Every structure is written in C-alpha cells, then in structure tokens.
Amino acid sequence: MNTKTIDFSKFSSIRIGPVVEVALIENDIVPKDHLIIGSANNVLISPTPPPLMILSKEYDYIRLDEDGLHIGAAIPGGRVVSFCKKNNIAHFEYLSKLPGTLGGMIKMNAGLKEFEIFNHLIAIRTISGWIPKEKIQYGYRKTSIDEVIFEAVFDAEAGYSVERYEMFAQMRSNQPHDPSAGSCFKNPPGDYAGRLIEAVGLKGEHIGAMAFSNVHANFLVNTGGGVYQDALTLIHLAQERVKAQFDIDLQCEIVLIDQKL
Ligand SMILES: Cc1cc2nc3c(=O)[nH]c(=O)nc-3n(C[C@H](O)[C@H](O)[C@H](O)COP(=O)(O)OP(=O)(O)OC[C@H]3O[C@@H](n4cnc5c(N)ncnc54)[C@H](O)[C@@H]3O)c2cc1C
C-alpha cells in the first residue's frame, strides 16, 4: 500500500492538524479501518487522528458518456465547473464556490441554498458497485453513505449559465477570509446558527488564536497558529450557551476527526 505524507496544518482549510502518513486508495482497494479524507475543507483534525486514507490521482477525471456526466471523486469542484462551462452543461455553477472534492461534497450533500449536489445525482460507485440515488438517504448536509465514494454519475442537461455563476460569486462576497472549515454548525430548523451564536454573545469570541468570526459568527476561524483544543472548547461553549438560552442543540457541520471520539 502506497502512502503520502500530509501536513494537515497546511493541507486543511482551517490550517490545523498533525503531519500524518496517509494511505493512498488505488485500484479500488480500500485499506481496512482507515477514515477517508477528501481535501479537508470540512474537517477539524485532532493531534491524534485515526488512520487516514485519501483517493489517488486515478480518481481525478471527468468525462461525458451516453448515460451522463461521470466524475471521479478526487476531482475538485472548480474543475467540474470548468468542464461544464466548456461543454455547456447546466446545474454545477455553484461548485465554483464550494472548496472540496466531489467525494467530500457527495458525502456531505454540500450545497448553497437550494442548490445541492444530490439534486442532479444519478448514482455513486463504491466498493459495493453502483448505488442509485434512490437507495441513499440524504438531507441537509448529511447522507447515509458509509463507504468510500470512487465516482459518481450525474444528469448532463445542456445550459451552463454565466448569470448563475455570477449569482453564486455574489452570495460568497461576505465570507470571512481567515482560514476556516466553512460553517461550524448546521442551521437548526427555522433558524440560523450564526444568529444564535451572536445572540449568546460569542460573535468575535477568541480562545487562543481560534475565534467565532466577527464577519460571520458561524465561521470558526484560525487567526494564525490556532490549535484543535481551542477550536473544540469554542464549539462546546457555543453548544452549551445556545442550549441554555434557547433549548436548541447545535449540531456540528464540521466533521471532528479524533481517535478518541
Ligand atoms: C470557506 C469555506 C466555505 C464553505 N462553504 C460551504 C457551503 O456553502 N456549503 C457547503 O455545503 N459546504 C461548504 N463548505 C464545506 C466544504 O466545502 C464541503 O463540505 C466539501 O464537501 C468538503 O469537501 P472535501 O473534499 O474537502 O471533504 P473533507 O473535508 O475532506 O471531508 C468531509 C467529509 O466527507 C468524507 N469524505 C471525503 N471524501 C470522501 C469520499 N471519496 N468518499 C466518502 N466520504 C468522503 C470525509 O470522511 C468527511 O466525513 C465550505 C468550506 C470552506 C472552507
């Protein structure tokens, strides 16, 4: 089994994590008892993670076949958008603003407002073969997928839209620029996690170099050299205060990766 050395304090979007020897998935061989990582845009990795694995370059492809658009799970969203622009394919414009690989996006059912990756998904391919969308449970930022996604096939409708592309760029213009893993918590039904964090007085709250952003309270940002434990303490603090004040259980959207969890 080939491996790759990854320094997660540089590789992950939140710039936290140890240097780890990560197993490479090649020829559809999935090492046992390893956790899959995409491009680490939605994860917070502790100093003691379980064994990790990552897809090799073999899974970095995109092609138009008769049954739809086939995309390897290691491909970043931006490359999907470039391909769709060139081939006039609709519905993927929003991926230009979502950092991550296709595998991570499908596992998280990533999206922007009503535009979600499952909307135009036909099937995924895992070690169990092709699994149609109808056999997968999915909802807001969650799916029932518990295997490594190798590839997926999507509807390939004509109609790439420059207007939609620009609309998504506009939606993103107010995001914090400090390193983060995107939204820290899922929005609870009928409310916004950012509003609740602000209401309990934690907007801009710092512990060490970690903070709930002053720009958008639901972004847990690393202002430089932040550490896992401080991020976790802030997460627990927000959950406790929001529970005490509003009786709402804030659920993490960030995936916590720790051997001890
Ligand atoms: C600045 C910023 C803004 C963001 N905005 C949004 C947003 O608007 N909407 C949104 O939905 N998300 C957003 N995110 C989060 C992130 O873009 C998505 O969650 C994306 O899907 C993460 O992809 P990844 O490859 O980095 O996955 P990772 O972070 O590496 O992993 C995320 C999860 O997916 C699993 N996973 C990864 N690859 C695979 C695979 N091949 N097979 C099975 N499971 C896999 C991992 O085990 C983990 O549970 C944002 C993140 C950042 C940093």
Residue minimizing CA distance to atom 14 of ligand 1: 182
Does residue 183 carry a catalytic annotation? yes
Sequence-separated (6 or more) residues with CB below 8 Å from residue 215: 174, 175, 176, 177
Of all residues in the chain, what percent carry a pLDDT higher than 70?
A: 99
Which range marks the domain in which residue 93 is found?
Answer: 59-171
Is the pTM higher than 0.85? yes
Is pLDDT above 60 for 261? no
Comparing C-alpha atoms, which of 110, 91, 90 is closest to residue 100?
110
Cα 241 to ligand 1 centre (Å): 27
Domain boundary among 141, 171, 201: 171
- Which residues line the pocket of ligand 1, CB cutoff 6 A? 13, 35-43, 55, 73, 98-101, 103-105, 107-108, 110-112, 141, 145, 148-149, 175, 180-182, 255
Q: Are 63 and 165 in a shared domain?
A: yes
Sequence-separated (6 or more) residues with CB below 8 Å from residue 59: 25, 72, 73, 74, 75, 103, 150, 151
Number of domains the chain contains = 3
Q: Which atom of ligand 1 is nearest to the CA of 43?
A: 29
Average pLDDT over residues 138-146: 95
Question: Is 74 within the bounds of a domain?
Answer: yes
Matching residue, tokens 């972004």: 219
Question: Is 222 within the bounds of a domain?
Answer: yes
Does residue 141 carry a catalytic annotation? yes
Does residue 164 carry a catalytic annotation? no
Matching residue, tokens 């060139």: 86
- Taking only the tens place, the pLDDT of each residue in 117-139 is 999 999 999 999 999 999 999 99
Identify the bridge partners of residue 252 per DSSP, sorted by sequence position.
185
Q: Are 26 and 107 in a shared domain?
A: no
Comparing C-alpha atoms, which of 250, 260, 208, 249 is closest to residue 16?
208
Question: Is 24 within the bounds of a domain?
Answer: yes
- Answer for the pair 226, 234: CB distance below 8 angstroms, yes or no: no
Question: Is 15 within the bounds of a domain?
Answer: yes
